[in-house]
């Protein structure tokens, strides 16, 4: 079963951003000209200009602006809001792709789809909630190590007791949520060899107070994570927004939820 869907932004019930207009913005950013962007997309200049006018009018701040003069004689450029809009759309598009791929893997099993729908509405104090499917179960004397494939393609390992395994009836076809408190996630500025659940991420946001730091991270597969650590520990890492940070967590520090 193939599932297709498009992302469309609305403002006051007026649609003003979709795949075509995001492409138009990218072309304007590439060529620095509305006419060149329209030509690259094989659309009329008027249609391109009308689309830009509507985007600018419906957006709280302009998306595109004209620049005059200068060495190149001026042109059309994206504003900061324009670049932010493209980045947001691309991120949502990537997350949507991974989610739909995960749903496609379930097929037409209505019971499984209903279970996933219920799982998406549950609430927990854990800041990080990652959806994944069981890939491998390895039994130990004390419990079970469960390898899961997340919706973004990353693999993580979680340890649970035998009692929990039996109680939750987890098998190789089970879909689960991996719950992680932000303080359970360790952050490094380099990859740690022989470290459990070692995943590279892009640092997207930093929030600090006098004692602590909270950072937002994005994996290559589109999963978002939040980590909390002391301000001193974060400053020692010398990380900035846009840098690659490596996260890790102990298999026993994660919680599985149905």
The CATH number assigned to the domain holding 176 equals 2.40.50.100
In a domain, 17, yes or no: yes
The CATH number assigned to the domain holding 21 equals 1.10.10.10
Q: What angle do CA 152, 158, 162 make, to 5 degrees?
A: 140
Furthest C-alpha separation in the chain? 74
The pLDDT value recorded for residue 179 is: 92
Q: How many domains does the chain have?
A: 2
In a domain, 108, yes or no: no
CB pairs under 8 A, 24+ apart, for 181-184? 181/125, 181/126, 181/127, 181/128, 182/127, 182/128, 182/214, 182/226, 182/227, 182/228, 183/228, 183/229, 184/249, 184/250, 184/253, 184/254
The pLDDT value recorded for residue 125 is: 65
* Residues 236 and 130 grouped into a single domain: yes
H helix or E strand, kind and range, residue 57:
helix 45-58
* Residues 126 and 72 grouped into a single domain: no
* Residues 91 and 202 grouped into a single domain: no
The pLDDT value recorded for residue 106 is: 67
In a domain, 241, yes or no: yes
In a domain, 27, yes or no: yes
Where in the sequence is the domain holding 144, given as residue range(s)? 115-257
| pLDDT tens-digit profile, the chain (258 residues) | 677 777 877 776 667 778 899 999 999 999 999 999 999 999 999 999 999 998 888 888 889 988 765 444 458 899 999 998 898 888 888 878 777 776 776 666 666 666 666 656 555 667 898 888 999 999 998 899 999 998 778 999 999 999 999 989 999 988 888 999 999 999 999 998 778 899 999 999 999 999 999 999 999 888 899 999 999 999 999 999 999 999 999 999 999 987
In a domain, 109, yes or no: no
Q: Which positions ≥6 away from 230 have C-beta within 8 Å? A: 211, 212, 213
* Residues 72 and 144 grouped into a single domain: no
């Amino acid at each position: 079963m193939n599932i297709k869907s498009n992302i469309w932004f609305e403002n006051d019930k007026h649609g003003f951003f979709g795949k075509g207009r995001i492409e138009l913005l990218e072309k304007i950013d590439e060529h620095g000209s509305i006419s060149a962007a329209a030509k690259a997309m094989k659309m009329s200049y008027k249609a391109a200009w009308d689309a830009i006018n509507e985007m600018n009018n419906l957006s709280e701040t302009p998306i595109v602006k004209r620049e005059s003069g200068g060495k190149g004689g001026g042109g059309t450029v994206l504003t900061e809001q324009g670049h932010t809009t493209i980045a947001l759309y691309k991120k949502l598009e990537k997350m949507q792709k991974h989610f739909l791929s995960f749903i496609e893997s379930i097929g037409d099993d209505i019971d499984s789809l209903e279970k996933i729908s219920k799982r998406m509405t549950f609430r927990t104090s854990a800041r990080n909630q990652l959806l994944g499917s069981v890939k491998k179960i390895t039994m130990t004397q004390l419990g079970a190590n469960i390898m899961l494939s997340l919706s973004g393609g990353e693999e993580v390992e979680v340890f649970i007791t035998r009692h929990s395994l039996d109680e939750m009836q987890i098998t190789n076809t089970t879909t689960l949520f991996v719950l992680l408190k932000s303080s359970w996630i360790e952050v490094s500025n380099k990859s740690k060899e022989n470290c459990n659940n070692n995943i590279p991420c892009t640092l997207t946001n930093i929030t600090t107070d006098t004692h602590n730091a909270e950072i937002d991270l994005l994996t290559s597969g589109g999963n978002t994570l939040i980590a909390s650590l002391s301000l001193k520990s974060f400053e020692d890492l010398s990380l900035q927004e846009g840098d690659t940070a490596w996260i890790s967590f102990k298999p026993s520090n994660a919680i599985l939820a149905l």
